[in-house]
Amino acid sequence: MLDKLSAADFSQHIGDTYTLVIHDGPDIEFELEEALEHDKCKNPNSGNDVRIPFSLTFKGKNEYTIDTGIYDLRHQSLGADDAQGLLVTRVLPREPSENSAYYQIIFA
């Protein structure tokens, strides 16, 4: 399933709440802020049937933060299987905010 996802699958859900499944703690809910394609990162030798790499940026509360790691992502648009085994990285916000934590998932 992960290899079929594209930025367009998420763009229509900007502002939606997603759930990050934490296997050894409480799950985290955060809001999808951005779905951005990185067309310059696509292998020039790949065919047209290969997706353009993209990243997702999420904004959550700073009450409970996680370390960079492998997590599952839940949202009604992903179906029953969720998106499992994603590398989630905490990133710095563009503008400082004491009440928010930002996370990024990259699909290559």
Residue range 83-94, pLDDT digits in tens: 889 999 999 877
Biggest CA–CA distance in the chain, Å, is 44
Confidence of residue 75 (pLDDT cuts 50, 70, 90): very high
For the chain, domains (ranges, CATH) are 2-107 (2.40.10)
Tokens of 77: 């648009």
Predicted TM-score of the model (pTM): 0.87
Taking residues 21-41, report their average pLDDT.
90
Spatial separation of the C-alpha atoms in residues 27 and 24, rounded to whole Å: 9
Query: What pLDDT sits at residue 37?
Result: 92
Spatial separation of the C-alpha atoms in residues 42 and 19, rounded to whole Å: 28
Taking CA atoms, 90 is separated from 2, 12, 40, in Å, by 21, 23, 23
For the chain, percent of residues with pLDDT exceeding 70: 89
